[in-house]
Amino acid sequence: MPTGLDVLQWVTGFGGALLVAGAANYKQSLSFSGMLAAVVMGTLYFGAGNAFWFGILLLFFISSSLLSKLHHENKAELEAAYDKTGRRDAGQVFANGGLGMLLVLLNAIYPLELWGFLFIGVMATVTSDTWATEIGTLAKKPPRSVLTGRMLP
């Protein structure tokens, strides 16, 4: 039977996730589907985890959202070519946070310190990928392959 603290943790997670996702939808960082996915994800991160899990997710989301707004006018042509906009949808939300969410749930079911370390690695990976994309689109020269050094489209 859940205790009052358990229920409070889930309610706090839902409220925090709704506040952040609602503001992101209002600021056009998330589409409506992205907002719904972020509410589900944030609630699970805090409810099944705690402020550690939710905080790292929040750092990723806020920093990536700010970078996507950086010189947005210069990214418009590339966004059209990639069929991507600054507004993240549910697919993008789950692509970036889904594996982390699985680790939060695994930790809730079978607590191990390992899950936290894996989570930090996963979030570092999705953060670096997102930051590289957002910063790389501002580059004046085409990207190069790290394996061959050849220019890429």
Residue 73 has pLDDT above 70, yes or no: no
Residue owning tokens 């996730």: 17
In this structure, is residue 60 part of a structural domain? yes
- How many residues in the chain? 153
Q: In total, how many domains does the chain have?
A: 1
Residue owning tokens 């050849």: 150
Render pLDDT for 74-124 as a digit per residue (tens, 0 to 9). Answer: 555 555 555 555 688 999 999 999 999 999 999 999 999 999 999 999 999
Residue 133 has pLDDT above 90, yes or no: no
In this structure, is residue 151 part of a structural domain? no
Which residues on neighbouring strands pair with residue 52, listed in sequence order?
Answer: none
In this structure, is residue 42 part of a structural domain? yes
How many CA atoms within 13 Å lie on the side-chain side of 149?
Answer: 0
In this structure, is residue 146 part of a structural domain? no
The domain in which residue 19 lies consists of 4-136
In this structure, is residue 68 part of a structural domain? yes
DSSP string, 30-82: B-HHHHHHHHHHHHHIIIII-HHHHHHHHHHHHHHHHHHHTTHHHHHHHHHHH
In this structure, is residue 147 part of a structural domain? no
In this structure, is residue 144 part of a structural domain? no
Does an H or E element contain 5, and which? helix 4-26
pTM of the full structure:
0.81
Cα separation, 130 vs 31, in Å, equals 17
Residue 41 phi, psi dihedral angles, 5° rounding:
-65, -50
In this structure, is residue 98 part of a structural domain? yes
